[in-house]
Structure formats: C-alpha cells, structure tokens
Structure 1
Amino acid sequence: MKRSKWIMFLLVLALTAAACSSTSGSEATTTTATGSGASSTTQATTTTAAGSGASSTTEATPKPSLEGVDLTLWGWSSSDAENSALSDLVAQFSADTGANAEFQAQAEFDVALQAALASGAPPDVFYVDSFKLPDLADAGVLAPVPDGALSDPDDIYPSLRNAFTFNGTWYCPPKDFSTLALVYDPDVLAAAGVDVPTTWDELEAAAATLTTGDVAAIAAGDAQAGLTMGVEYPRWGVFLFQAGVALTDDAVTKITLDNDAARTALQFVADQYAAGSFIKPQAVDAGWAGEAFGQGKAAMTIEGNWIVGYLQDAFPDKNFAVAELPAGPAGMGTFAFTVCYGVAEGAKNPDASWAFVEYLTNAKGSLAWTNAFNVMPARKSVSADWIASHPDLNAFVAGSAYAHRWGFVPGFNDVVGVFNENAEGIVDGSASVDDLITKVTQAGEDVLH
C-alpha cells in the first residue's frame, strides 16, 4: 500500500463489514470482565497481519493476575478533556482487575520518555506516535507485540497495523486515529453570508470576508480572523496534498518540493498569512488553534477529531460544525494521525504491561475510549456503532478515504523541523517559499542519503 493513501481507513466500509469482522478468522474463546472488557483468551489462535507483510502464530497465554500491581501509562497532554477521559478508562481497568494503574500526562513527553528509556526505568506503557515509531523501533527500545497478548488482532485496520510495523515486526496496537477537517462556527459564517468553502478560491474569499481586524484587535478579543492554523508541516502539508504533491515520494527516498505544484500550494498558504486572514494561534495569545477558535478569535480552523472533546469541555457554549477540507487544484487531501500504546524492550513487568494494553485496545476498550473522546476507533468491529453515535463527525470519517499517513523513516524529524522553522520564517517575513524548498530539500538529502 502506498504511503500517500490510507484507503483502508475508510470507516464507512465497515458499516457493511462489521457484522462479520468481529470474528476475523479467529476461533478464540474469550471471557470478558465488566467495564471496558479485559479479554482472556483460552484457546490458541493463528492470526495474520493483513497487509503488514508479517504473519504470526499466536499461542493464547493466560492473563496474569494484576491484583495489587502498580502500572503507569505515560502520554502527552493535549487537553484536560482527553486526560480526564483516559484517566476514567484507566480507573475502570484498575477497578476490574485489582491493579493500581495511573495515567500520567507528561508536559514534555519526548524529553521525559527519552530520559526514562535511557535510565532503564521506562513507564509500563507509553504513547508512540506513528511518526516516532521508526526511530524507536530502529533504536531497539520497543518490545514487539507478543503472540497471544492481544485479542483479535485482525480486527484492527490493516493500515493502522502497518503504521506501527517496522521491518516486518508489529510493535504496538493503535489507540485510535484522527484526520484533519475544517472546523467552523456556523453562526459566524451565516451572519457574514459566507458558505462553507469547498475550494481554495472559496477558502481564500471566506477567510478574507470573515476577518474583521488586525492581530492586535484579534488578540484583545475585539475582532476575529478568518482562520487560525498552526505554522507547521502537519497543517501546511494538506495543501501540498491538495495540489497533488507531498514532502517526499511514496517510498520516502527523496524530497519532492522543487516543483510548480508545491510552490503553488506553499505560496497560497503564505499569501493568506500575509493578508492577515490566516493567523497562527500564538500571535493572538492562544496556546493552539483549538483554543483560539474556542475563544472566538477565528471563524474557522483546521484540526482533528481531538478538538471536539476539547471544545465541549473548555467552551461548552461554543457552536461549531465540521466539514471536509476544501479541495485544491488536484482535489482532496488531508492527514491521518494515529498513536499506539507501546511497551519498552526489557520492561520490568511485560505481562502486566501487555494485559493493560489489551484492556485499552480490545473492542470494548476501543469503543469506550473513542466514544468518550470522539476520536475514531482502530477496530472494524466497533466502527458501525461509533459512526451511528457521531453523525455530526462524518467529515472526519470521509477524510480517511484520501488521507495521507503521518510517518516517514528514522531520523526524519530533523527534516520536519527545518520545514517548520522556515514556515515560521515565511509568516514573519524572514524567509520565502523558495528558501523553505531549498533548505528542506537539503535537510532531506542529508537524512535520506
């Protein structure tokens, strides 16, 4: 499967497949606890990583006693709403199993995890972003998924398993996935007589019409911008996709920005910031785009499913709706993001760690989590239930048909850093689109060759 398209993500297809996908060729007998449902496999099964290029025979292993076992889960803190929802699920795990489990959000996650891994005292379970997976797997600090540790692995979307498979080895199961979409205030658009934009031209016109003041006035809460968006590749990249290009080729062997399509996309974004109709959230005293949107400092933003729970928690009176991202000259394009629950190689209590992961990612745990925080489930068997419960979020689901994977190769983080640095330069006037293309291309060549 090419990196550029995660067609397998499309949850709508699961509406017709969900009835039969729950068995996934597995003949395991399971017993389920209350709450999110920790499964205990009592019969050996054979599973194949569909689409992952790796197959394994899974001998069912009895689940360890977790009574009194201390377990920690580390993740980054995206919002109080996410922290609270995950803490509730972890608390249910403790109640159901007798373990003493705790979710600990790390303000500086990457720094904290690197230090913990280096010291030989990692948390029992921790987030692994698909972008970081190649580096961690290549460094040998991640334990592969043991045979029989997880129930019904074929129920997980193959493309999501692929995201956490490196050199043929599957390292961790996804907790969920999200796509980027256009989040907007329907009341503000209606008052301004603006339709939801569906093309770049319409987006440019809408953002200009909806912008009612300069940055100082917006920061003071006396005006609004048309759109707020982070100055970074995970947001600007969607415009490249919509222009028919990407940062790299599908095999991630070379940078592919030195062309007219990429220049058109990047200049389009640069022009909107220069006009003042796009703003970066930090310029108006907001920590991220979701906060700026919630505060009414912008009429639109480009964000993922995670913004839904955040807005409902932090801005419960905020009216918002979601639409697919506007199409560019080459059509539709967005990103798909996913995170897994990883266990360190040489973990102090691997059986308990994997039992914890199983609880969080089996069908019941997956549905409990994604219903609580409005991200999309990684399992086919629960997708129909999720879609039925979230009809207003269909734009996120639709995006999965043409989403591009967030992930590259070991060491590529430096290249994305150069992109982000030069994107900031474009916004503040110290760099040009050609500067970004030149410097990112050189950084990419240094990493890829």
Structure 2
Amino acid sequence: MSKRFNHCRATAPLTAVCVLVAVLTGCGRQRDGDVYTVLNSSTDETYHRWDAQAMDRCGERLGVTVEQQSVPAAQVMTKALRMASSKSLPDIVQFDASEMPTFAEAGGLTDLETLGLSTRGIPRGIVDFGSYEGTYYGAARSVNTLALFYDRDVLDEAGVAVPTTWDELREAARKLTRGKRYGLALSAGGAEDGVFQFTPFMWSNGGDETRLDGPRVVQALDYWKALLADGSLSKSTVNWTQADVNDQFMAGNAAMMINGPWQVETLNTKKSLRWGIARIPAPRAGADSVAPLGGTVLTVPDTGDPERQRTAGRIVACLAGEKEQLSYALKSWMVPADAEAAAVWRERVPGLRALADQVATARSRTAKLGAGWPNVSLALQSAFQAALTGESSGAALKRAQQRATSGN
C-alpha cells in the first residue's frame, strides 16, 4: 500500500466496542460553534493539502470553518477511542471502511440518511461499503480495488494476450516466466494485504467468507498453489506486501501483478515501463470478476449535539458530492463512488477504465460479517502461510474456519 491509503487493514479488536459502550454517554467538551473538525489519515503532505482545499471549499459554501486533524491510518481508531473516552470526539471521522462497523456496532455513529444524505446514484456495493446492518453510516468520496497490471512490452514480445480467465492466466504466467522473471506477482503474506488479494479469487469462484472450508474457497486456494507449483509465482510471495509486489514488477522481476491504483503514481515514475491494466481474470469465461472494495468513509459520530451533527452531515454531503468526488479521484487515481462522477472519470482517464469496471462488481469485506471480519481475516492469513508452504488447502482452510468461528 502507498501514501495514506490503508485500504486493506483489519479492524481494531472487538474489545473496542465495550470501551465505546462505556464512554458514549454524558456531556462533551465545549466546542467552537463555527469550527468543525475532521479526524483523518491524511498525513502525506500532498493528500493533506488536497483535503484542506476541499474542506475550505465546503466550509465557505456552508459558512463554517472545517479543519482536519491527521494521524497515521493505523492510529485513527485508537485516536477516536481516546477522544470518545474524554468526550471530545471530532465532528467527522474518516475511518477505513473495515473499521467503521466497530463504532457503528456500539451505537457511536449517526445514520447519514437521517442527516439528509442519499444513496441514490451510488452502486450497491459501495453503499454496503459504508453500511452496517443495513444502516448507512459512512459516505465514500472514492474507492479503490484490485486489478491485473501487466508489462505491455513483455507480453507483446512473448505474443501473449492479456488473460481473462483462470486458465488463460495460468498459461500466460507459465509462458512469461523466464530466468529471474516470474509470470505473476501477488501478495500472499500473513497480513491483511494477502487477504485483500485472495478475495477476488474466493468471491469470483463463488466462495464465501462465512464458510472458509467450503469447496469453492478450497478451489481458489488450490489455484494459488498451482501457480506456485508451476514456478509462475516466487516462493517469496508468502512474505510480500502489495508494495513489495509493485517493487518486483517495476524491477522487471514480474511480467504481471495483482495490485491497486495506489501504485499508479509510483509506476509512472519509471518512464520506460509501458504498463497496462485489466480486470482480474475470472474462473471461467463469462463469469463476474468480483474484487474487494478498499478506501475510507466519512462518518458523523454521535456527539450528543443534534445541531452540530446536522451541520457535520452537510459537510460530509459536500465532501462526498459529485464535484468533490471527481476532483479528489482525478488527483489520487481512485474511482469516484458516485456513478455519474465515475462515468466522467472513465472519460478523463481512459487508461484506467478497467478499474471502474472492476469497482462496478466489487464487494465490501464487511458486508456480511460486519465487525466480525477481523476473525476471518486472521484465520485466512494463517491458512495462506500453511497451504503455500506445503499443507493441503482443505486442511488449512478447515482449521481457518474453526479459528474464525471460535475467534481464537
């Protein structure tokens, strides 16, 4: 992952819910009536500046001042919990979408639809991305997902077409593996990066996170094992993050990779690299390629001040409006959440249209399990490590299902 985008972190421990339940009562500190605060993870200078400009525009439109308080992405949840305990929550918190259910489950967030925000024009997958148990708590400005990146020159020289199915991907990866160059690079490390990268294979094959030992999930992990057995994947894939994968691709050590748009800025620094992008191959021709949604959502904490919450809702509506979405997405290489903004984005950045196509069928990791996602993530991480270093996929995933169910 790159810059501020912690698109695939697991949520905070569920003990946080107990903390929230205990502290989300009572009076908060006195607030400056015309100054509204947004807690986010825009610590990178560029993204901090872009967010400040957007907040200035929305603040001017609404007649208030909007300020951001930025901390590293890994600290947003803990910072918000500390602020909740001292009754000093900000007016808006920009959570990683996988963390949002923890606050929502404890009753710590406000239903955005009650504040006047509509989900009209937003794809169902992105609505789910910002929802918990059917209630819309988080508005996304833009989202990211995974896609297949490929080296145009390498594929052209080898006479290999961009693959669209699993069989084609396996055959292409075999042909493109030469010397120190592997046909494909992906992250199967023991962290959320690996889980994020496995979900397109699990979901596209009809697998489900509620039954990790199901035959469709086993088949998906067997496919990864087959790529490794072919020699098309490096054995180091079990240790690689998505940033490592991008480094291998840029160094010419991989002809193709699974990665996301947060790598585009870095890819473009190597002028000699002619790269292309396509949807992740599906198990069979005509099947949907279903990838995970990543990114952040803007939420309004329940601070006990309905009037401030209504104004905070209007700020969120502005920041997540079509105009601001498009502005932000064009700078950050993300895809606008709004369908009309995404259509304009496709025309403005035609080389990345495959990302918009992938987003159209993408899913939220927490849509089915909500705050229970971390247990599944941790269980899958262990399963990858075991299966790709010798254990059968079936045995590794059976143990993963038991671990996910028990929470241990």
Query: TM-score, normalised to structure 1's length?
Result: 0.69
Partner of 1:74: 40
Greater shift in the superposed pair: 181-190 or 274-283: 274-283
Deviation at 1:158, TM superposition (A): 4.5
Separation of aligned partners in 2, 1:291 and 1:341? 31
Equivalent residues, number? 360
The one of 136, 139, 151 equivalent to 2:106 is 139
Separation of aligned partners in 1, 2:84 and 2:178? 49
Partner of 1:13: none
- Is 2:350 the partner of 1:388? no
Partner of 1:252: none
The one of 371, 374, 379 equivalent to 1:413 is 374
Separation of aligned partners in 2, 1:291 and 1:122? 39
Q: Which amino acid is 1:175 matched to?
A: R
Gaps of 5+ in 2: 1-31, 189-193
Separation of aligned partners in 1, 2:241 and 2:220? 27
- Is 2:397 the partner of 1:437? yes
Cα contact 1:325–1:332 (8 A) shared by 2: no
Partner of 1:177: 143
The one of 228, 240, 244 equivalent to 2:206 is 244
Partner of 2:288: 332
Separation of aligned partners in 2, 1:410 and 1:283? 27
Return closer, same or farther for 1:371/1:135 CA change in 2, 3 Å cut-off: same
Partner of 1:216: none
Cα contact 1:387–1:394 (8 A) shared by 2: yes
Deviation at 1:414, TM superposition (A): 1.2
RMSD: 3.3
Partner of 2:260: 304
Separation of aligned partners in 2, 1:256 and 1:413? 14
Separation of aligned partners in 2, 1:201 and 1:114? 47
Q: Which structure: greater helix fraction? A: 2
1:155-194 aligned within 5 A: 155-194=121-160
Separation of aligned partners in 2, 1:275 and 1:160? 36
Cα contact 1:183–1:302 (8 A) shared by 2: yes
The one of 88, 91, 96 equivalent to 2:53 is 91
Separation of aligned partners in 2, 1:444 and 1:241? 18
- Is 2:68 the partner of 1:102? yes
Deviation at 1:234, TM superposition (A): 1.8
Partner of 1:345: 302
Deviation at 1:373, TM superposition (A): 1.6
Partner of 1:404: 363
Partner of 1:257: 213
The one of 290, 298, 301 equivalent to 2:246 is 290
Q: Which amino acid is 1:341 matched to?
A: L
Separation of aligned partners in 1, 2:94 and 2:251? 29
Q: Deviations over 1:97-136 (max 9, x none)?
A: 3736236251523444444445544454333344333332
Gaps of 5+ in 1: 1-64, 214-222, 249-254
SS of 1:173's equivalent?
Answer: coil
Greater shift in the superposed pair: 298-307 or 154-163: 154-163
Separation of aligned partners in 2, 1:158 and 1:247? 19
Q: Which amino acid is 1:395 matched to?
A: A
Return closer, same or farther for 1:345/1:416 CA change in 2, 3 Å cut-off: same
Partner of 1:234: 196
The one of 278, 285, 297 equivalent to 1:323 is 278
Greater shift in the superposed pair: 92-101 or 402-411: 92-101
Q: Deviations over 1:223-270 (max 9, x none)?
A: 33222212122211222233332233xxxxxx15332x3322211102
Deviation at 1:417, TM superposition (A): 0.7
Cα contact 1:327–1:333 (8 A) shared by 2: yes
Separation of aligned partners in 1, 2:146 and 2:242? 20
Partner of 2:226: 271
Q: Percent identity?
A: 24
The one of 95, 101, 117 equivalent to 1:128 is 95
SS of 2:108's equivalent?
Answer: coil
Cα contact 1:87–1:103 (8 A) shared by 2: no
SS of 1:410's equivalent?
Answer: helix
Cα contact 1:333–1:404 (8 A) shared by 2: no
Return closer, same or farther for 1:120/1:423 CA change in 2, 3 Å cut-off: farther
The one of 370, 386, 409 equivalent to 2:329 is 370
Separation of aligned partners in 1, 2:212 and 2:272? 43
Query: TM-score, normalised to structure 2's length?
Result: 0.76
